[in-house]
Amino acid sequence: MNEVIRTESLTKKYRSLRALDGVNLDIREGSVYALVGPNGAGKTTLIKILMNLIDASTGRASVLGMDSKRIRGQAYTQIGYVSENQEIPEWMRVSELLDYVHPFYPSWDADLENSLLKQFDLPRDKKIKAISRGMKMKLALASALAFHPKLVVLDEPFGGLDPLVRDQLIEGLLERARESTVFLSSHDLTEIESFATHVGYLESGKLSFSEELASLRNRFREIELTFTSPPQLPQSVPSSWLQMKLASNAAGFIETNFDEEKTPENIRRVFVDVQDVSSKPMNLRSIFLAMARKGGEV
C-alpha cells in the first residue's frame, strides 16, 4: 500500500515554543487515521503544515506523494478538507455554495452531491446563516466529498455536535472510506473508536505512538492482582507498567505492552507471593487518560 501522508522529523517552532517536535508519521492508503491528544498538543499545527497553510521550521512532509510545500491549486482537487473553524459564506444558500465550489473540481459528481444532500438532510434553498452549526458541518463535509477526493482531512469535525449529527457525519465518511484515505484529529474518543483503523497520540508536539487501533487495544490492559496478605510496593517495576496502586490484599496497574506469556512471568518476578492475576482490555478513552497522566512515550 502507498503512503498518502508522510512526515520526517517535522518540527514547528514559535520562538521558545515547539508546537511540533520531530514528528515522524506514516499514513497508508485506505486507512482511517485518527490523531488524538490534549489541547495544545500540536494536532492543528500538523494539519496546517500538511495542507500548506503554514510552513514547518524543519523537517519534511509529503501528501499524496507531493512535498506539502507544493500543495496548492490543482493539488487541492484531490483533497477534501474540513476544519472546525472553517468559514462558510453565510449569505449564500446551500445550493449556491455547492454551485460555486463545483467548477473548481473536475471530478465533481452531481449524483453524489444529491445523494449527500439527501443523506445529511440538507435543505438546498435555505440560507446558510439560517441553518444550525451541525448542518453547516454537514454542508462542509458534503462539499469535501462530492468530488471523490483521494484524501479527506478533518480537523476536529465533531466538536460540539449532537450525537445524531455525529452519526450522520461518520456514516458519510465510512461510505466514502472505500475510495478515500481519511485523516482526522478529534477529542471525541468514543466516536473515533467506532470507526478508526489507526490512531496516533500527540503530546506536547511529540508523537508518542502511531499504530493500528487493534494493536493498541491488544497491548494496553488493566491488570489486577490478589494476595493472601497486603503486598509491598516493589523498588522497581517494568517501564511498561503505569499507575501502580496497592490496596489491602490487592494491587493493580496498566500494562502498556501486554503479552499473554511474558506479562504474567514479569508479574511473578516482581510479586513472588501473588495469588491471582487477571487482565481486561481498555477502551480508547482509558488509554488516552493513561497516556495524558503519564505525559510520555510508551
pTM of the model: 0.87
Amino acid in the structure at residue 87: E
Query: Could you tell me the CA-to-CA distances from 45 to 11, 35, 61, 253 in Å, in that order?
Result: 10, 12, 13, 34
CA distance linking residue 116 with residue 113, whole number of Å: 5
CB atoms within 10 A of CB 119: 15
Measured CA to CA, the distance from residue 225 to residue 266 in angstroms comes to 13
- Cα distances from 261 to residues 53, 258, 267, 274, in angstroms, run 48, 9, 11, 16
Q: Report the percent of the chain where pLDDT is more than 90.
A: 65
Distances (CA, A) of 240 to 25, 234, 244: 23, 15, 11
Query: What is the phi/psi pair of residue 269, to 5°?
Result: -75, -35
Given a cut of 60, whether residue 91 has pLDDT beyond it is: yes
How far is 257 from 117, CA to CA, in rounded Å? 45
Q: pLDDT tens digits for 11-33?
A: 999 988 899 999 999 999 999 99
Contact predicate 188/29, CB 8 Å: no
Q: Look at 16-30, 34-48, 160-174 and tell me which has the smallest mean pLDDT.
A: 160-174
Q: In Å, what is the CA distance from 174 to each residue of 66, 102, 192? A: 25, 22, 12
* In the chain, % of residues over pLDDT 70: 98
Q: What is the pLDDT of residues 189-226, one digit of tens each?
A: 777 888 899 999 898 899 988 999 999 999 999 999 99
User: What are the sequence ranges of the domains in the chain?
Assistant: 3-216, 221-281
- For residue range 240-263, list pLDDT tens digits in order: 999 999 988 999 999 999 999 999
- Residue 80 C-alpha cell reads as 477534501
Considering only the top CATH level, what class is 3-216?
A: alpha beta
22 Rama class: left (phi>0) / alpha (psi -120 to 50) / beta = left
Amino acid at 167: D
Average pLDDT over residues 99-118: 94
Q: What angle do CA 101, 107, 111 make, to 5 degrees?
A: 80
